[in-house]
Amino acid sequence: MAKPKSASLETISNTVSSYYPDAKLELLTKAYKFAEEAHRGQLRSSGEPYMIHPAEVAQTLADLKLDMASIAVGLLHDTVEDTHATLEQIQKEFGNDIADLVDGVTKLSQITFKTSEEKQAENFRKMILAMAKDIRVILVKLADRLNNMRTLEHLSPHKQKIIAQETLDIYAPIANRLGIGWIKTELEDLCLRYLHPDIYYRLAQTVAKTKRERQKYTDDFSEVLDEKLKEYDMNAQVSGRAKHFFSIFNKMERRKVDFDQVFDTIAFRIIVDNITECYKALGVIHASYKPIPGRFKDYIAMPKANGYQSLHTTVIGPAGDRVEIQIRTQEMNQVAEGGIAAHWKYKEGRFDTRSRENVEWVNRLLEWHQDLSDPNEFLETVKIDLFAEDVFVFTPKGEVKQLAHGASPLDFAYAVHTDVGHKCVGAKVNGKIVPLKHRLKSGDTVEIVTSTTQSPSKDWLKIVRSSRAKAKIRAFIKEQERDRSRELGKAVLEKALRAYSQSLSKVEKSGELLKAVQAQGLRSPEELWAGLGYGRISVDDLIPLILPKEALERKTEAAKAEDESFLRKVLNVAKKRGESRNAITVANLDDVLVRFGRCCNPLPGDSIVGFITRGRGVTVHTATCTKAIDNDQERRVDVQWNVRENKTIKRTVKIRVLSLDEPGLLAIMSQTISGCGVNISSANIRTTKDKKAIAIFDVEVGDLSQLHKITSALEGKKGVISVERVRS
């Protein structure tokens, strides 16, 4: 379909007339004349008249069977940026629709991707937004890039590399996502030529050298396939062609092999009349040649996100080699080449852009854009989506959901509905209960179990693969953190005020609080709470702004004592009896009844948080324990390890040692632990089928550094594979 040879007003008009007979070609003539006039005297880097470039771009757009406005914009796309022509002129001459498109393309052209990561993210975001506004802007830009890549040889090697890399990173994936197969393929091959010229030219040479034998092989096997299909009264078009260089290059990279070891360099395509025939043809082929397991893909039942449909299979060919075969209908073939444009319906000479069902992908991007305010997060999200392969799974009702490769039940839950995701506690895959982190495979039937008390946690971000789920979880956590820090900030201020015998409602009424809010450049008390909660604003700095001098001087020892008695009242515990002092101080009291969370079993040295349990003292968790994060933050108190007392206190910790199953190793491990001056209170060992041993020790350690000493001593022993602390 590519037409690298000189395009002209005549060739463009002829192409348009071929698919749109009623086209009012005057528009194209007018746009051509306008561009020719504007670019008069300008030359390209090749030394040719500039007008060749917009004409080629317009020709590509006509080859894609786009609407009149898009093709006119192809002709006009560089006038505003590179000539004296203005947007106002274009608007006057060609109307708002075309002027808006030219404006969109001009703005996109000013985006460059080679700057810092952050700028790249922001630029990419602009690009997606432009695409969401009118997909035709991106189609013109793709055609523009294609022509620039075709003529890249006239630029400096440095520029060539930059443009080729950008094309490979951004434009080829977009062409793929939009389903325009031939543009994607051509862009990738051109990129290879400039990014890895050595490989490109070696491939080109080898292919040229083996051309005759390859052609013979292709013709012979095509003929064989054709005959086999005829035996079953099937009317099919069989063709074979060399795979493009970039895909061969990819295969070489992936399998770490050289060109002569990549055998399946030719792909065969069978085009039949209808879907039934597709499956029939597949049956004929599988009956004649042994299919390679795992290589059959049914993109007819489950089309790709870009609308691509086809059956793919790889079989062992007559010479014992691998042969890739694609089977599809004529219509599917058109979609595979032309992408989204093949779906568009004409309405009075232009596309009915509202019925663009295939731009769902772009709409999804727009949704994430609203959820993610950080451009880097957005870029990461989009990149995952641009490059990932997909899996297809079913709802219990048989509806198909398309998910990113490696997706978990959580991804599925979010694909069903945001609320289903937020409330997901588990899943059944093909009737069996699986953990949330389970990886789904194509064909799985997934049923989600929800609970009203469930809510997303940060850990979920490690589990999910799809951009949508990530965006939704991040948004939820951010909102929750904001809420929590507001509550925390308010509580912090309230507590601080109490020390001065003041209250929040008092300073709110007096208007002093509002003054402080304004003095900090904030808009509302809520922003102040958040600032305090996040620790951006210090309460000690804030108090003098709120309270009058007299009140500030009134903070006495008595007030501090009151603090203590308040805490005691809440805790409802008397001073502990006996000699043993606590390993923990709670809000500077070192004699409060303390328990350790069995979930995380903190050790001196771990960073910790405490939660008040009425009548039962304080429960201590490690700061990263999920229980601590889920606990009611209002009950949270500051706790510290009581350094002076730690030496005398021992805590039991479980460690798991994975090792080779060798005689005497248990004895060596026990000696190593004892050698660190640590007591072992229990030891357990079992062996695994693969000749390994798992030993579990309960050891009594004083603090984290002592534990580290043991683990590194154990790790240094021959036969030991890994050592880890068990938290359960």
Which residue numbers are catalytic? 81-82
CB of 105 to Mn ion, least distance (A): 8
What are the residues facing 403 on neighbouring strands? 391
Please count the residues of this chain forming the interface with Mn ion, following the rule CB under 5 A: 2
CB of 243 to Mn ion, least distance (A): 30
Question: CB under 5 A: which stretch of 31-39, 138-146, 408-416, 716-724 binds Mn ion?
Answer: 138-146
Closer residue to Mn ion in complex, CB, 81/638: 81
Q: Show the tokens assigned to 182.
A: 């031939």
CB of 42 to Mn ion, least distance (A): 12
Closer residue to Mn ion in complex, CB, 144/371: 144
Tell me if 78 contacts Mn ion by CB under 5 A.
Answer: yes
Angle of CA points 167, 168, 169, to nearest 5°: 95
The Cα 591–Cα 573 span in angstroms is 10
Closer residue to Mn ion in complex, CB, 144/385: 144
The Cα 348–Cα 362 span in angstroms is 25
Question: CB under 5 A: which stretch of 78-86, 385-393, 487-495, 672-680 binds Mn ion?
Answer: 78-86
Question: CB under 5 A: which stretch of 71-79, 123-131, 209-217, 478-486 binds Mn ion?
Answer: 71-79
- Residues 448 and 416 sit within 8 Å (Cβ to Cβ): yes
* Dihedral sign of CA atoms 687, 689, 692, 695 in order: negative
Site string for Mn ion, 415-454 (x = CB under 5 A): ----------------------------------------
Amino acid at 170: I
Site string for Mn ion, 493-532 (x = CB under 5 A): ----------------------------------------
What are the residues facing 238 on neighbouring strands? 270
What are the residues facing 97 on neighbouring strands? none
Question: CB under 5 A: which stretch of 76-84, 340-348, 536-544, 688-696 binds Mn ion?
Answer: 76-84
Residue identified by tokens 């402080």 is 516
Closer residue to Mn ion in complex, CB, 183/693: 183
Contact residue for Mn ion among 100, 144, 277, 337 (CB under 5 A): 144
CB of 109 to Mn ion, least distance (A): 7
For residue 653, the surrounding DSSP H or E stretch is: strand 651-660
CB of 57 to Mn ion, least distance (A): 6
Q: Is 611 helix (H, G, I), strand (E, B) or coil?
A: strand
Give the Å distances, CA to CA, from 306 to 66, 174, 177, 309. 17, 10, 5, 9
Listed residue (648, 652, 649, 666) closest to 717, CA to CA? 666
Give the Å distances, CA to CA, from 674 to 482, 660, 681, 706. 48, 21, 11, 12
> CB within 8 A of 270, min separation 6: which ones?
225, 229, 236, 237, 238, 281, 325, 326, 327, 328
Which residue's beta carbon is nearest to the bound Mn ion?
144
Tell me if 67 contacts Mn ion by CB under 5 A.
Answer: no
Amino acid at 575: K
Closer residue to Mn ion in complex, CB, 144/444: 144
Question: CB under 5 A: which stretch of 63-71, 72-80, 488-496, 593-601 binds Mn ion?
Answer: 72-80
Question: CB under 5 A: which stretch of 140-148, 184-192, 334-342, 602-610 binds Mn ion?
Answer: 140-148
Closer residue to Mn ion in complex, CB, 163/593: 163
For residue 432, the surrounding DSSP H or E stretch is: strand 432-434
The Cα 592–Cα 614 span in angstroms is 12
Closer residue to Mn ion in complex, CB, 76/379: 76
Other Cβ atoms less than 10 A from the Cβ of 158: the count is 8
What's 361-413 look like in SS3?
HHHHHHHHHHHCCCHHHHHHHHHHHHHCCEEEEECCCCCEEEEECCCCHHHHH
- Residues 186 and 172 sit within 8 Å (Cβ to Cβ): no
Render the burial of 662-698: b for 16+ CB within 10 Å, e for the rest.
eeebbebbeebbeebebeeeeeeeeeeeeeebebebe
Question: CB under 5 A: which stretch of 136-144, 242-250, 304-312, 572-580 binds Mn ion?
Answer: 136-144
Closer residue to Mn ion in complex, CB, 64/359: 64
Closer residue to Mn ion in complex, CB, 80/335: 80
Closer residue to Mn ion in complex, CB, 78/337: 78
Contacts 24+ apart (CB under 8 A), 225-233: 225/268, 225/270, 225/285, 225/325, 228/284, 228/285, 228/288, 229/270, 229/281, 229/284, 231/284, 232/280, 232/284
Amino acid at 334: Q
Tell me if 56 contacts Mn ion by CB under 5 A.
Answer: no
Interacting residues toward Mn ion by CB under 5 A: 78, 144
